[in-house]
Amino acid sequence: MGKKVVIMGVSSIILVAMVVAVAVGVTRDGTAQKSDAEEIPVSSKAVQSICQPTDYKEACEKSLSSANTTEPKELVKIAFKAAKEQISLALQNSTELEKLQKDPKTSQALQTCNEALDLAIDNLQESFDKLGSMEWSKIGDYVNDLQTWLSGSYSYGTMCLDAFEDNSTSTVEAKKKMEKAIQSAKELTSNALVMVNQIEKVLSSLSFTGTSRRLLSDDGFPTWLSEGKRQLLSVPASRIKPNAVVAKDGSGQFKTLTDALAQVPIRKDNRTYVIHVKAGVYQEYVEIGKKMTHIMIIGDGPTKTKFTGSKNYVDGVNTFKTGTFRALGAGFIAKGVGFENSAGSEKHQAVALHVAGDMSVIHNCQIDGYQDTLLTAANRQFYKDCTISGTVDFIFGYGSAVFQNCKMLVRKPSDNQQCMVTADGRDNAHLKSGIVIQNSVITASPEMAPVKKDFDSYLGRPWKPLARTIIMNTLIDDVIHPDGWMPWAGDMHIDTCFYGEFNNKGVGANLSKRVTWSKKISAKEAGEYTVARFIAGDKWIPKSGVPFVAGL
């Protein structure tokens, strides 16, 4: 009976951190408070209360000023809707600017911005829909979902601005216009995220996780996973019957993956569509669009089935458009596949794999490149038994990515270059994002090993002010400089980033000479960045098909 009372209480206060107490104006001694504030409508008091913890209170209260309700759920929905409307206006501005733009690089930047803002709208819409349909007594099940989607929406706004890479007059002017257009959208999205983060704080204070936590079922899979997908993931990749087969030699239904994707039927459920790509080197640029959800690509092995390309920044391609393989749809799974950008270190930014779909799983894959090899663009991502190689910032992005049992190979860079394994793009303290490397190996590639003393290599550098990277239970070889981490430029971001290390081993794991702005974290702190805690992976990562460690 007591637990039921707690659940009912949480349902009513969870998003506003005791908004009811503020709204009715009760004093500490329990008597009714009479003051000038008494004449303020109750709905206005509720708005003030829900906006109190946000960073942009004025924008928050203005966005909710027309709300004629004290219902927490409705107030938060209105906040989500307001953020979406502002992003839509920013997208409108970007689209109009692109139509008038004649400079190729500025036009590319605006195209990337358009795509990013479009994806931001999708994330906010998903948040709005989830909020409207959920039962408040089960709110604990969905906190991570909402945090992820709102974080993704905010970060897509950052990506939009980062797309303006050129220093030409037209590009600089276009960026200024977009910064102005997107400011309100980012503020309101940040506010919405703060409201959701308040849920987590209240739940933690009550030691409450919901009444219907989506745990694994008796067969070891998430309870929400369809029977069809369970069957797919419970057998080896070689025994899965695909929906389509791609083969360069003509022995399949298609010769390219692009042709196979063009024939994927529209599905109204979450059934996985499996495409087997036979061994071969596929010189094609693949995009799994945002509407292509639950696509599984199975190769014949990470060195046998390979997608390769060479688009790069030096040759005039926007960084976010250089990816050989781009996976934007949710529920993307890749097994036994290689992804490569062969542009070389002298061509600077050149992405091999770009992943943005929420709840993506990359298993037993090889991802090779030089600078910016892997873009973890947004949302929750899990990498298991993968090899990722590169030179500068070769794992970078804005998403929430966990790497388990992976090998990070530091390649030989160009002369006078330094190597950085990671570069996280978190730029707001409320974002549920970062890079986590667990039970992995960081070492030199074969061509780098003989000359590793000639180049300084680091675990990472803070691309954005609130960059967050955690490395735990990992073997760090002597390819890594004793400092461990390096600033972005000068001392930029060193006072605000978060670099944590826990229980690592190897010569490169010695903390005695680490930079003072990195941190040796405790087991308790490290636990916050495990698969279960950081990306709620115990709810959506397949247990059998892709085994994982939920904790430390």
Catalytic residue IDs: 393
Strands 441-444 and 286-288 come out as unpaired
Give me the long-range contacts of 251-258 (CB less than 8 A, separation at least 24): 251/278, 252/276, 252/278, 256/282, 256/284, 257/282, 257/284, 257/286, 257/297, 257/307, 258/284, 258/285, 258/286
Q: Give how far the C-alpha of residue 440 lies from the chain's centroid of Cα atoms, to the nearest Å.
A: 20
CA 401 – CA 437 distance, rounded (Å) = 8
Cα separation, 175 vs 369, whole angstroms:
29
- DSSP line for 241-291: --SEEE-TTS-SSBSSHHHHHHTPPP-SS-PPEEEEE-SEEE---EEE-TT
Instruction: Of 300, 420, 448, 317, give the one whose Cα is nearest residue 366.
Output: 300
Q: SS3 helix, strand, coil % of the chain, rounded to 5? A: 35, 20, 45
φ, ψ of residue 32 in degrees (nearest 5):
-70, 135
What span, in angstroms and rounded, lies between the C-alpha atoms of 215 and 469?
27
Q: What is the distance between the alpha carbons of residues 129 and 119, in angstroms, rounded to a whole number?
A: 15
Residues composing the chain: 552
> Burial of 250 by CB count in 10 Å (0-12 exposed, 13-18 middle, 19+ buried)?
exposed
Residue the block writes with tokens 């994002």: 433
In contact, 46 and 100? CB cutoff 8 Å? no
- Report yes or no: 276 and 245 within 8 Å, Cβ to Cβ: yes
CB contact at 8 A, 294 and 270? yes
Helix/strand/coil for 340: strand
Which amino acid would we find at residue 291? Answer: K
Q: Is 267 left (phi over 0), alpha (psi -120 to 50) or beta?
A: beta
* CA distance linking residue 184 with residue 169, whole number of Å: 25
Nearest Cα neighbor of 351 from 368, 328, 334, 327 is: 368
CA-to-CA separations, 404 to 126, 385, 438, 453, 548, in angstroms, rounded: 28, 7, 5, 27, 8
